[in-house]
A = this chain, B = another copy of it.
Amino acid sequence: MNTRDLEYFISLTEIKIFSKVAEEFNVSQPTITFALKRLEKEMDAKLIIRHRTHGELIVTDSGKQLLKHAKAIIRHFEVAKQNIDNLKSNKISIGLPPIIETRYFPKIAQHLKEENLLNNIITFEYGSETTLDALKSGELDLALLGSINPMEDARIETEEIDQIPFYVYVSKKHHLANQKSIKFSDLKHEDFILFKQGFVQNESFRQLTKKNGMHPNIILRSNETNNIMNLISNNVGVGFFNSFVSYPENVVRLKLEDDNMPKFVTNLVYLKSHYFNDLQQKVLDNIRHSIK
């Protein structure tokens, strides 16, 4: 069976018009008809119910089933190509979200340098979500990721590195600044300054506000720790982060005394289907050793 037929099929379930799909792939319209026929013969099932008219085209249950697998197959194929490209250039691509990078990379870099491996790595700094996507697409060989709940994806391998608590950061001038520790619900009427989308702290924050029936007032989101800390120190709002972030003199870090607080979990993550060659394995072992 040809992957091209699957690509036609996937596109057909999206565009829903044979001739438009043909255009998309720069082939003639009957090509799509024949491709679908081949698939239906191979699967021995009707995949699509055709309406000859500018109207709907219905994907059957069997079609939906095939669709899921077709997408997975195409993805595998593309990831394989990408991985092989990485192998050829003898590099290992590592995703390191900024907060985690701050905490772990200095030590990692030092160890890698000692082994003369530092120039075999390429690092990518995005939020955890984007990093995970990049890993799944094969763009990255490896990632250090933050998560709250243990990660739940059959395709990825996860090694837990560390679990650390979240804290609330407030200005020294803030009315809570003198408490040793607080409850999350004490923050009911605060203004918050948080990270942008795709950072793990947000998911944890969302869980806590939901649990406490709060509708938090988020006045700003930024990607820059410095920027956020600056605003907090000026008492513009309060922050909610793990202990990896460094904070200035006039900011206070408050413990949260709630039970069952979510933890910030750092994970070493890679695709189960990823093949590490000797050099990559060496780098992986080195990193593993550096952070444990």
A residues whose Cβ falls under 8 Å from a Cβ of B: 1-4, 43-45, 61-62, 64-70, 72-73, 76-77, 79-81, 83-84, 87-88, 133, 136-138, 149, 152-155, 273-275, 277
* Contact pick for A1, options B45, B64, B68, B77, CB 8 Å: B77
- Docked complex Cα distance between A129 and B128 (Å): 26
A-B contact pairs, 13 of them (CB 8 A): A61-B277, A62-B87, A65-B83, A65-B84, A65-B138, A66-B80, A69-B273, A70-B80, A72-B72, A76-B76, A136-B154, A137-B154, A152-B154
Q: Which residue of B lies closest to A277 (CB)?
A: B61
A72→B273 contact, CB < 8 A: yes
Cβ of A73: which chain B residues have Cβ within 8 Å of it? Answer: 73, 76-77
The DSSP consensus for interface residues of chain A is helix
- Docked complex Cα distance between A153 and B132 (Å): 11
- Docked complex Cα distance between A149 and B45 (Å): 39
Q: Which residue of B lies closest to A272 (CB)?
A: B68
* Contact pick for A69, options B45, B76, B277, CB 8 Å: B76
Cβ of A273: which chain B residues have Cβ within 8 Å of it? Answer: 68-69, 72
A45→B137 contact, CB < 8 A: no
- Docked complex Cα distance between A161 and B243 (Å): 34
Cβ of A77: which chain B residues have Cβ within 8 Å of it? Answer: 1, 69, 73
**A283 → chain B closest CB, angstroms:** 14
A68→B3 contact, CB < 8 A: no
**A273 → chain B closest CB, angstroms:** 5
* Contact pick for A2, options B1, B62, B137, B138, CB 8 Å: B1
Known contacts A65-B87, A68-B273, A274-B68; is A43 also within 8 Å of B152 by CB? no
